[in-house]
């Protein structure tokens, strides 16, 4: 995978994206009612490493999140998981679908 250091910047993802705090324990994956299709820790890892294709290729996953916050409430690292998913959605809306921010 080729890392693109400007990826997050291009997505206008700012300091509110706190996925780097994830310690990869897997609690979120275990708790997610949507099952293992949705793996926030992997998605976040790719975003952090600037894996453009890796993230954009997972758009279904990103949109299938229920934002139920079951994961977030239990994340031992205090990652704002659902908030991060929303941040990625906003970015994808703009990037893939040309939707402007409200």
Residue 92 as a binder of ligand SF4 (CB under 6 A): the answer is: no
Query: Which residues would be at the binding site for another protein (CB under 8 A)?
Result: 1-3, 5-6, 8-9, 15, 18, 20-21, 24, 41-42, 45-46, 48-51
Structure tokens at 99: 């939707």
**Cα–Cα dist 89/77, whole Å:** 22
**Terminal-to-terminal C-alpha distance of the chain:** 33
Q: From the list another protein, ligand SF4, none, which binds 5 (C-beta under 5 to 8 Å, kind-based)? A: another protein
Which SS3 state, helix, strand or coil, does residue 27 take?
Answer: helix
| Residue closer to ligand SF4 (CB basis): 45 or 94 | 45
**Cα–Cα dist 8/89, whole Å:** 13
Structure tokens at 6: 């400007």
Minimum CB separation of residue 31 from ligand SF4 in Å reads 6
| Residue closer to ligand SF4 (CB basis): 31 or 90 | 31
Q: Tell me which residues touch ligand SF4 (CB under 6 A).
A: 22-28, 31-34, 38, 40-41, 65-71, 75-77, 79, 81-82, 85
């Amino acid at each position: 995978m080729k890392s693109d250091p400007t990826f997050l910047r291009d997505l206008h993802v700012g300091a509110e994206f706190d996925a780097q705090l994830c310690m990869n324990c897997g609690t979120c994956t275990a708790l997610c009612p949507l099952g293992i299709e949705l793996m926030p820790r992997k998605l976040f890892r790719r975003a952090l490493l600037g894996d453009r294709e890796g993230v954009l290729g997972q758009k279904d996953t990103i949109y299938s999140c229920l934002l139920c916050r079951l994961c977030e409430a239990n994340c031992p690292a205090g990652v704002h998981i659902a908030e991060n998913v929303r941040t990625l959605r906003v970015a994808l809306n703009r990037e893939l679908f040309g939707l402007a921010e409200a």
